[in-house]
């Protein structure tokens, strides 16, 4: 099973790039944010527990998140491999993933990190619109849809995520950037991290990511 971890802050472009990479590489796209939003929509026990954290822009507790992710990895469409989008987000999650994968005789193959400065993240999240069907992201000015209010990919309605409101955006970045640094450090230490400049146009970022994922491992040295 190939496991690729796509790292980046909220708004860095993971949700744009992960489905493209998954399609190109024949892997399943697994986004923990999408799994949580589906659980909230369906009103499951997991959704009820996760909802408050998400509304405040906080991280959902590790134990709950890890359990959900590992169950998702057991589904048949993940057998060939996955692009993880939004997981791991803490060092504890990264270690739990390593342990679970080691138990399955595999490990994280590559961890490309889409880097975007904090100022840009605020602007990107503020203008973001997401499609109801699959969470495909658009931006009011940076990447508007061809038809206003409709997803270019599947035609479903676009909506603004409640946690993309300015007051929650700051809380999300405030609580999520520090643990992300620890996760980045983890993959740098084990030699699977590669940084990609996320300020480039979408297509250039895709090319850079594919280059990383198709090239033999060249670890960034400490």
Does residue 67 have an active-site annotation?
no
Does residue 89 have an active-site annotation?
yes
- Does 73 help bind ligand AMP (rule: CB under 6 A)? no
Q: In this complex, which beta carbon is closest to ligand AMP, that of residue 22 or of residue 60?
A: 60
Site string for ligand AMP, 104-143 (x = CB under 6 A): ----------------------------------------
* Under 8 Å between Cβ of 78 and 30: yes
- Does 39 help bind ligand AMP (rule: CB under 6 A)? no
Q: What is the rounded CA–CA span in Å between residue 26 and residue 115? A: 25
Q: In this complex, which beta carbon is closest to ligand AMP, that of residue 31 or of residue 193?
A: 31
Of these residues, 72, 89, 110, 188, which one is catalytic?
89
Strands (E), the chain: 2-8, 28-31, 81-85, 108-115, 128-131, 137-139, 158-159, 193-197
Of these residues, 72, 110, 124, 172, which one is catalytic?
172
DSSP states along 142-184: TB--SSTTB-TTT-PBEE--GGGSHHHHHHHHHHHHHHHHHHH
Q: Which stretch, 81-89, 103-111, 112-120, 194-202, contacts ligand AMP (CB under 6 A)?
A: 81-89
Distance in Å, CB of 135 to ligand AMP, minimum = 7
Point out which residues pair with 85 in neighbouring strands.
Answer: 6, 31
- Does 53 help bind ligand AMP (rule: CB under 6 A)? yes
Q: Which stretch, 41-49, 85-93, 196-204, 205-213, contacts ligand AMP (CB under 6 A)?
A: 85-93
Q: In this complex, which beta carbon is closest to ligand AMP, that of residue 8 or of residue 145?
A: 8
Q: Which of 17, 32, 192, 194 contacts ligand AMP by CB under 6 A? A: 32
Strands 81-85 and 137-139: unpaired
Scanning residues 159 to 198, which ones bind ligand AMP (CB under 6 A)?
Answer: 163, 172
Q: Which of 5, 7, 9, 10 contacts ligand AMP by CB under 6 A? A: 10
Which residues 6+ apart lie within 8 Å of 4 measured at CB?
A: 21, 25, 27, 81, 82, 83, 84, 108, 109, 110, 111, 112, 213
Does residue 161 have an active-site annotation?
yes
Cβ of 201: how many Cβ atoms within 10 Å? 10
* Under 8 Å between Cβ of 9 and 177: yes
The set of catalytic residues is 14, 89, 128, 161, 172
Binding site for ligand AMP (CB under 6 A): 10, 32-33, 36, 53-54, 57-60, 65, 86-87, 89, 93, 163, 172
């Amino acid at each position: 099973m190939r496991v690729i971890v796509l790292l980046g802050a909220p708004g860095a472009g993971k949700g744009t790039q992960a489905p493209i990479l998954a399609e190109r590489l024949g892997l399943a796209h697994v986004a923990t944010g999408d799994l949580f939003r589906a659980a909230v929509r369906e009103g499951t026990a997991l959704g009820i527990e996760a909802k408050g954290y998400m509304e405040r822009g906080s991280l959902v507790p590790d134990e709950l998140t890890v359990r959900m992710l590992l169950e998702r990895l057991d589904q048949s469409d993940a057998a060939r491999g996955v692009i993880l989008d939004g997981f791991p987000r803490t060092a504890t999650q990264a270690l739990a993933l390593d342990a679970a994968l080691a138990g399955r005789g595999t490990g994280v193959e590559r961890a490309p990190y889409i880097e975007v400065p904090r100022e840009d993240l605020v602007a990107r999240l503020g203008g973001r619109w997401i499609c109801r069907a699959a969470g495909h992201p658009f931006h009011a000015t940076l990447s508007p849809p061809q038809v206003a209010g409709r997803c270019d990919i599947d035609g479903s309605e676009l909506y603004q995520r409640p946690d993309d409101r300015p007051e929650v955006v700051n809380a999300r970045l405030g609580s999520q950037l520090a643990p992300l640094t620890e996760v980045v450090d983890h993959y740098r230490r084990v030699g699977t991290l590669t940084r990609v400049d996320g300020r480039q146009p979408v297509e250039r970022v895709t090319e850079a990511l594919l280059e990383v994922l198709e090239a033999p491992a060249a670890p960034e040295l400490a």
